Amino acid sequence: MSGDKRRFSAEDRKRMIVIGALGVFARKGFEGASSRELAAAAGVSEALIYKYFPTKEALYQELTGLLRKDKDQLLAKVTSSAPGTAGCVRALHFIGRMMLFGP
């Protein structure tokens, strides 16, 4: 966001971090995800991630908690998707939309 001077609320920043983390954790798993990659995916600094989530475990727990919260709706959407890459992309898109806009 080099020229972008918008100010995001704390809740918006936290949501950006969680959404960015989803893709990193999905690709690399918990152990393979670095704080640098998590920050880059969210478009924030590593320091900002640690402001909202003191550990990588805390961020992961926040993400999994959100996913569990609406698991029935998520499960129905994922199982109705076509198998393979297209279905996976649809499922991730759905998860991201749920996290951004709610169920």
Predicted structure pTM score? 0.62
Other residues' Cβ atoms within 10 Å of the Cβ of residue 25 = 20
38-91: per-residue pLDDT in tens? 999 999 999 999 999 999 999 999 888 877 776 666 556 555 655 666 667 767
- Model confidence band, residue 16 (pLDDT cutoffs 50, 70, 90): confident
Burial of 15 (0-12, 13-18, 19+ CB in 10 A): middle
Say if CB 60 and CB 77 are below 8 A apart.
Answer: no
Residue with more model confidence, 59 or 98? 59
Place of tokens 């969680």: 18
Query: Which has more confidence, 48 or 27?
Result: 48
